Amino acid sequence: MAAVLMVTGAASACAVTGEAVPSLDLSSKSVPSSAFPYGPGQPVPSAQVPGILADITFRPLRGENTPADCTPAPVDAPTARVLVGPGGPAQGTLTTMVVRATDSFDDFVARVRRCGEFALGGTVGTSVATEVTPVDGGVPGVRLDRRIRMGPADQPAPPPTSSVTEFVAQQGDIRIYVQNRRPGGDDLGAEELGATRTLFDAARTRAFGG
């Protein structure tokens, strides 16, 4: 999809043959594990990062979403710093990621708004429905409430459903995600939603200051 953007002061993603190509280190912009509200977040091993990125971004490892224009632009996997910790009463998981994006935040939000429902590529009948709400304070962000139906709607039993409450913000080409992913189709309770938002605010401050 879109080409990786340049970062001021960072090495170019291109180099003369034979030269090392350093990757932008975002470790200092990642929220600490102690910021997780229900138990410490744990770093995701590098071998698992591609699959985690697909889960977080809804960009399939193989193929495209349907419609194809609902396939998100890629993020720069080598720069991703991902922590996963326990969720709260809804028995889900909390995930934070800081990563180098390849599209602008305006383009990211426009695509999400345009794709209120899409079929997830690389799956059999899995669909994702999304609602978008602006988030105030600090660097501009959005809250995305997603419902994921896993399997064809016409199967004999109701298909399994999971839900994601996700906060995303971006400054330049540095983007942060905070996700609360859980089984079922219920909204988060007020306490857990507040805890997820607090984690997002901490992640946003760590990444962007202010």
What's the pLDDT tens digit per position in 71-117? 999 999 999 999 999 999 999 999 999 999 999 999 999 999 999 99
What's the pLDDT score for residue 210? Answer: 62
Give the list of residues 6+ apart from residue 190 with CB closer than 8 angstroms, or none. none
The larger pLDDT score, comparing residue 24 to residue 119, is at 119
What's the pLDDT score for residue 17? Answer: 36
What one-letter code names the amino acid at 69? Answer: D
In eight-state DSSP terms, residue 89 is T
What's the pLDDT score for residue 153? Answer: 65
Considering the chain, what is the average pLDDT of its residues? 88
What's the pLDDT tens digit per position in 138-179? 898 999 999 999 876 666 777 889 999 999 999 999 999 999
Residue 52 predicted with pLDDT over 50: yes
Q: Specify the pTM.
A: 0.86
What's the pLDDT tens digit per position in 61-74? 989 999 999 999 99
Nearest Cα to Cα of residue 22 among 67, 78, 99, 85: 78
| DSSP bridge pairs for 180 | 94, 165
